Amino acid sequence: MSTPSAPATTAAAIAAGVRDGSLKAADIVEQHLAAIATREPEIHAFNLVLADEARAAAAQIDQRVAAGEDPGPLAGVTVALKDNMCTRGIPTTCSSKILEGWRPPYDATVVSTLRDAGAIVVGKTNLDEFAMGSSTENSAFGPTRNPHDTSRVPGGSSGGSAASVAAGFSQVSFGSDTGGSIRQPAALCGVVGVKPTYGYVSRYGLIAFASSLDQIGPFTNSVEDAALMLDVIGGHDPLDSTSIPQAHPSLRDAMQQDVAGLRIGRITDLPEGADPDVVERLEVAFDTLRAAGAKIVDVQVPAFTFGLTAYYLIAPAEASSNLARYDGVRYGMRVEAADTNAMYGATRAAGFGDEVKRRIMLGTYALSAGYYDAYYGKALKVRRLISDDFDRAYQHADVLLTPTSPSVAFQFGAKGDNPLAMYLCDTYTIPSNLSGQPGMSVPFGTGAHGLPVGVQVLAGTLQEPTMFRVAAALEAAATKERGLQNGGVR
Amino acid sequence: MPDRIVKDKSGPVRITPEAAAKVAHLARLDIAPDELVRMTAQLEGMLEHFADIDALDLSAVEPMTQAFPLVNVLRADVVQPCLDRDEVLAAAPAAEDGRFRVPPMIGSGA
């Protein structure tokens, strides 16, 4: 097992140093490009490394600092973007052959916001094709490897983004989470990953998978960096009509408050299936928070267990509609044929991989005449049950704690040709996508094979401030525990 | 198309390869016959698992279509710049005279 590069510092410290001139953005970028040069051939976190662009952006930021201008709150912070976020003039593929070589004519709002804040984009990261998967094995451009053990997956679908932070390729990264695609790879790669409340971050320019579930969030080495990122990218965007039209309180401020008096919910009817090493770490997390002055309360979320079914009907249904746009007419590849119908069928057959086809089939079936009520319609009602059950639970608990992933990182091919086995990786993350509520994975020690384990903190709608307080307490305890175990060496 | 579903008294809902072929056509996916057989079996396995919600009484439950309730989101009725036409067309597989170029809509064997 090789050790991932330890982060030299935090995004917050880098930005502060670059802003006051004690650090050079150019040096920061070179450090990350050097890490990429060393380990990227082995890891394959990126679909595209933007070395020249990153160097140019760094030079510009250093010039602005020298000229006495404000370079922004994320000055010099290197970021990697999941390759389903549109970057103007820069290839954006969704790790699909159907979009290979496509250069978007516009930037996602998150991308322009990050650039305006002084962040430096170092590359576009690998993902399961169109974000459909939990291992990044479904990428048309080959899998990403887990920096902690390259015989294992980094999780998915944002596996490249998680691996980028874990391997020190970028200080932070961004992914999208439709059913756990930020939190699960964060857990498997030992980094912090946050899915905010639906509508907290603009989806404009995020290539749609399931529009009512998709949400962008950060991967970071620390809870504070995650708070900093959301403080920058969160907020209303008129270009996204599902964006919540209000400002959000600073999470960086909120997380300073301790957890004394908070009610931490244990879901007594949580679906089984988590490995013993993962369950053990969750128990340590409860003990930790109790010792910090929080109160552990039992709650029930009976519909939690039906999340998987509701999700795998709703998300493919939305995907089958969203992915209808890849028809060989406006962008991406085309397989020439005698007429348009033949061209659509041949283009989509050649351009999409197996999992994407499977989900389009499932979604089309669930929406088709005669089966809509039995599948899609029923799933929407189950979604309501899950949301209502969460709301009831949050009357008794401020946050809920669960495992993020049922297991530590698994080996390539471990789920074989059984799609359902892969879907079960999302058991604990899916329900909060359906309810639209926030969730985050915090690295909390190690489990089997010395691999990272994540604990998931879930909270009610727009209760990110409380979620971050709990995450900060868990992080502090994990750091202390690690210090006792190995003398403070990360 | 009632043939798309086979309700077997002894087993769960099943999808036939013929039904899967119809779905593939609706989704504009050319799928080879052997691939279709494999995919049908996978879809059948999923639908079997998804039958867990059939046990729920959902008669009084309202469907949930959005996570955060926002209604009729409008912007000011003011002209805004749009994407550059040439830049958009440059990304298309084929373009001509400022438009997307496609094969004939009504073809030989459709």
Amino acid identity, position A90: I
Nearest residue on chain A to B59, alpha-carbon basis = A381
Judged by CB atoms closer than 8 Å, whether chains meet at A330 and B88 is answered as yes
A123 bridge partner residues: A49, A80
Which A residues in the span 212-271 are in contact with B, Cβ-Cβ below 8 Å?
212-213, 238, 241-242, 244-245
Q: What is the pTM of this model?
A: 0.95
pLDDT one-digit tens code per residue, A39-56: 999 999 999 999 999 999
Distance from CA of A342 to the nearest CA of B (A): 7
Query: Smallest Cβ distance to A345: which of B1, B30, B39?
Result: B30
What's A167's DSSP letter? T
- CB spacing of B104 vs A339 below 8 angstroms: yes
Assess contact for A419 and A169: CB atoms under 8 A.
Answer: no
Q: Tell whether A174 is within 8 A of chain B (Cβ).
A: no
Look at B61 and A385 and tell me if their CB atoms are within 8 Å. Answer: yes
Please check the confidence at residue B97 and state whether its pLDDT lies above 80: yes
pLDDT digits (tens, 9 = 90+) for A414-463: 997 788 899 999 999 999 999 999 999 999 999 999 999 999 999 999 99
What is the set of domains in chain A, with CATH numbers? 11-303+383-486 (3.90.1300.10), 305-370 (no CATH)
CB-CB contact of A132 with A168 (8 Å): no
| A382–B53 C-beta distance less than 8 A | yes
- Cα separation, A305 vs A327, in Å, equals 36
Is residue A319 scored above 90 in pLDDT? yes
Fold of B2-54: Histone, subunit A (1.10.20)
**From CA A163, how far away is CA A185, in angstroms rounded?**
8
The residue of chain A nearest to residue B20, with distances taken between CA atoms, is A361
Nearest to B91 among A102, A199, A419 (CB): A102
Q: Which residues of A are marked as active site?
A: 82, 157, 181
Q: Which chain A residue lies closest to B66 (C-alpha atoms)? A: A212
> What's the rounded Cα separation, in Å, for the pair A118 and A25?
10
The whole-chain average pLDDT of chain A stands at 95
Task: Nearest chain A residue to B44 by CA: give it.
Answer: A362
Q: Over the stretch A480-490, which tens digit does the pLDDT of each residue have?
A: 998 866 544 44
Per-residue pLDDT band at A7 (split at 50, 70, 90)? very low
Q: What are the tens digits of pLDDT across the range A79-130? A: 999 999 999 999 999 999 999 889 999 999 999 999 999 999 999 999 999 9
Average pLDDT over residues A6-20: 85
Kindly determine whether residue A361 and residue B23, on different chains, have CB atoms separated by under 8 Å: yes
Quote the pLDDT of residue A1: 40
Of B46, B58, B103, the CB nearest to A378: B58
Chain B contact present for A334, CB below 8 A: yes
